[in-house]
Amino acid sequence: MSADLHIHVVTNKSDLPFVREYLDHDCWSSDHQNYCRSYFYLENGARKRAHDVSEPEFDQIDRSETVPILFSQKEVDAVVDNTDNVWVGEVSWLKAALFEDRESFVPDVVNAVSDIVGRDLPVIDESMIAHIRAAFDLPNKTAKPDGVWGGRGYALATVDDVVEFLEAHIGCWVFTISW
Domain ranges for the chain, please list them: 3-15+82-178, 25-66
**Is 80 exceeded by the pLDDT of residue 85?**
yes
3-state secondary structure of 170: coil
Q: Supply the pLDDT for residue 84.
A: 96
Pairwise CA distance, residues 149 & 42, whole Å: 44
The chain-wide mean pLDDT, for the chain, equals 78
* Burial zone of 121 (CB within 10 Å; 0-12 exposed, 13-18 middle, 19+ buried): middle
Please determine, for residue 115, whether its predicted confidence score (pLDDT) is greater than 90: yes
Give dist(CA 143, CA 38) in Å, integer.
33
Res 71: pLDDT: 74
Can you give the pLDDT at residue 146? 59
**Model confidence at 118: pLDDT above 70:** yes
Helix (H, G, I), strand (E, B) or coil at 42: coil
Give the closest residue to 14 by CA, choosing from 72, 79, 77: 79
Record the pTM.
0.76
d(CA 53, CA 26): 14
Least confident piece of the model among 48-52, 57-61, 103-107, 163-167 = 48-52
